[in-house]
Structure 1
Amino acid sequence: MIKRITFGFLLLIFSAQIALAQSGDMEKEIRELSTQKWQWMADKDADKLENLFHDKAKFVHMGGTWGKDREIEIIRGGFIHYKKADVQEVMVEVLNENTVMLWNQITLLAVVGSNEVTNPFMVTEVYVKENQQWKLADLTFSKTMTRE
């Protein structure tokens, strides 16, 4: 009986360690993917972004909310050029093996129309795993108040 309890306890500890390691690996993978996304946006690499964005993705900006096709059109057409995202903080939460949320606190330098603007944002990103590939399902920009 004691052997069974000891074995069960050791199995539980081992399983927990594996789960924590997998969670840490997913966090790292999503952090890296988010960093790549900011670079692809700066580079206006609409093809890579089109592959990253989930077909049902939503994009929430100060100017409205739209889907994947419109976001790709905006990037390709240069209506918004995400020139540089200065990322100050990143937080990641693994919800399960197929869903991860990431929050970036950034200062975004962008060209909107013909105006260059800089704004502080908290950006929420939701990633879902589909066919063994991470897809960005939501990108929400929430403008933050600056302190002076």
Structure 2
Amino acid sequence: MANSQSEDLTTKMGFASKIQALHIKKFNWIINQQLDSLQNLFHDELHYIHSNGWKESKAEIFQDMASSKLRYDDIIVHSSDVRLIDSTAVVTGKGTFCVQMVGKPLEFKLYYTEVYVITNQGIKLISRHACKDSGL
């Protein structure tokens, strides 16, 4: 039984590392507008909530990227943590987000939560919520 628990822990730790790496890659894909990679990662039912309460769907995110309404220039992750619950991973993190909103440069220090689920199509981001972090 102890060996089974050890194997389960090793598997969980490996999955947490995979989610952590994917969460960082996602930010690079957003900066570089790698839409095909984002298309594969984003769940069709994604809710992407910005720090000002603006909620976007998967389709709206891609529309805004295509029109340059919202462009990410840089994302610096200061800290992040992954928690696993069954087939769900919850990432909480803090970062600095440098964006252009309709051409106007802005910088936000944010605290964010991302929820990833395992589906038949692989790991998918289904929810993201951010709020301003005055502690950064």
The alignment status of 1:87 with 2:77, answered yes or no, reads yes
Q: SS at the partner of 1:50?
A: helix
Structure 1 residue 87, shift from structure 2 partner: 0.6
Match of 1:134 among 123, 128, 136: 123
Q: SS at the partner of 1:125?
A: strand
Match of 1:75 among 65, 73, 98: 65
Alignment of 1:81-120 (within 5 A): 81-96=71-86, 98-120=87-109
Query: Which one-letter code corresponds to 1:32 in the other structure?
Result: A
In 1, the alpha carbon distance for the partners of 2:121 and 2:38 equals 17
Return structure 1 stretches of 4+ with deviation > 3 angstroms: none
Q: SS at the partner of 1:44?
A: coil
8 Å CA contact retained: 1:49, 1:72: no
How many residues end up aligned between the 2 structures?
A: 135
Residue aligning to 2:31: 42
Identity of aligned residues (%): 23
Q: SS at the partner of 2:134?
A: coil
In 2, the alpha carbon distance for the partners of 1:132 and 1:78 equals 29
In 1, the alpha carbon distance for the partners of 2:57 and 2:121 equals 22
Structure 1 residue 132, shift from structure 2 partner: 5.3
TM-score normalized by the length of structure 1: 0.86
Q: SS at the partner of 1:24?
A: helix
Structure 1 residue 50, shift from structure 2 partner: 1.4
TM-score normalized by the length of structure 2: 0.93
Query: Which one-letter code corresponds to 1:93 in the other structure?
Result: R
- Structure with the larger helix share: 1
8 Å CA contact retained: 1:127, 1:136: yes
Alignment of 1:47-62 (within 5 A): 47-61=36-50, 62=52
Residue aligning to 2:56: 66
Query: Which one-letter code corresponds to 2:76 in the other structure?
Result: D
Q: SS at the partner of 1:109?
A: strand
Q: Structure 2 regions of 5+ residues with no counterpart?
A: none
8 Å CA contact retained: 1:42, 1:82: yes
